[in-house]
């Protein structure tokens, strides 16, 4: 009998493995930057690096982790007595009749399914919360990006993460991080509440 234990990892994916704002694209063989002349009017931006380095992104990531840890604690508390009863059943199964084993297994399976359904619901709520937080940050971010784009005289804005190499002088990322920090430093939100979807999928067996 098994219950997945993945909820505590939900918060870690919010800004995991994002590049630093000062990390520039380099040649594909990890050699020195290709360099060359700056291309007039062509600017670069990394939204991932903005989220990873801006104060509001860090604050949102910390808050999401807090919510995920709280949710995981609730699931762990709900699962603990079920795990204990599963172990007790396994130690007693040999001495039980077939009917008794079937009855105990059905009761335990129902309790396990309830825990799994609750965990799945919390995981969906964490994801909905993450998406909403990113949307709120994007609203603040967009005006800063627009101002930075105009102030640098850009005529084309490219995703920095798709650039293999070249002159990165027109990277707007650090400027946007600075502007975003001046506008907002934190974000307040609670766990999104979603309706239960009718139970866990699958049928784990003792």
Q: Quick check: helix, strand or coil at residue 157?
A: strand
Q: pLDDT value at position 197?
A: 67
User: How many CB atoms within 10 Å of residue 139?
Assistant: 9
pLDDT value at residue 38: 86
Which residues of the chain fall short of a pLDDT of 70? 1-33, 197-206
> Tens digits of per-residue pLDDT, 35-63?
788 889 999 999 999 999 999 999 999 99
Comparing CA positions, the residue from 15, 46, 2, 25 lying closest to residue 177 is 46
Six token digits for residue 39: 């291309």
What percent of the chain clears pLDDT 70, i.e. is strictly above it? Answer: 79
Reduce the DSSP state of residue 45 to 3 states and report it. strand
pLDDT at 64: 95
H helices present in the chain, as ranges: 47-53, 55-92, 98-151, 173-183
In this predicted structure, what is the pLDDT of residue 7? 53
What are the Cα distances from residue 135, in Å, to 28, 72, 132?
33, 24, 5
Q: Which of 47, 22, 18 is nearest to 148 (CA)?
A: 47
Q: Are 19 and 52 in contact (CB under 8 A)?
A: yes
In the chain, the N- to C-terminal Cα span, in Å, equals 4
Q: How far apart are CA 145 and CA 3, in angstroms?
A: 44
**Could you give the CA distance from residue 167 to residue 151 in angstroms, rounded to a whole number?**
19
Structure tokens at 192: 């999104």
Which residues make Cβ contacts (< 8 Å) with residue 152, sequence separation at least 6?
43, 170, 172, 175
């Amino acid at each position: 009998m098994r219950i997945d234990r993945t909820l505590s990892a939900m918060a870690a994916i919010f800004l995991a493995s994002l590049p630093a704002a000062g990390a520039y694209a380099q040649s594909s063989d990890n050699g020195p930057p290709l360099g060359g002349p700056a291309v007039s009017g062509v600017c670069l931006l990394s939204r991932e690096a903005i989220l990873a380095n801006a104060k509001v992104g860090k604050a949102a990531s910390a808050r999401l982790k807090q919510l995920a840890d709280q949710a995981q604690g609730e699931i762990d508390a709900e699962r603990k007595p079920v795990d204990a009863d599963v172990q007790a059943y396994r130690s007693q199964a040999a001495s039980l009749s077939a009917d008794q084993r079937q009855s105990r297994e059905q009761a335990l399976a129902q309790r396990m399914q309830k825990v799994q359904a609750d965990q799945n619901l919390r995981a969906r709520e964490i994801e909905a919360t993450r998406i909403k937080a990113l949307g709120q940050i994007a609203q603040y971010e967009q005006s800063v990006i627009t101002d930075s784009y105009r102030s640098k005289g850009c005529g084309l804005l490219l995703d920095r993460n798709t650039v293999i190499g070249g002159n990165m002088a027109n990277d707007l990322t650090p400027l946007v991080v600075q502007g975003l920090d001046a506008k907002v430093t934190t974000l307040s939100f609670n766990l999104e509440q979603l309706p239960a979807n009718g139970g866990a999928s699958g049928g784990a067996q003792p």
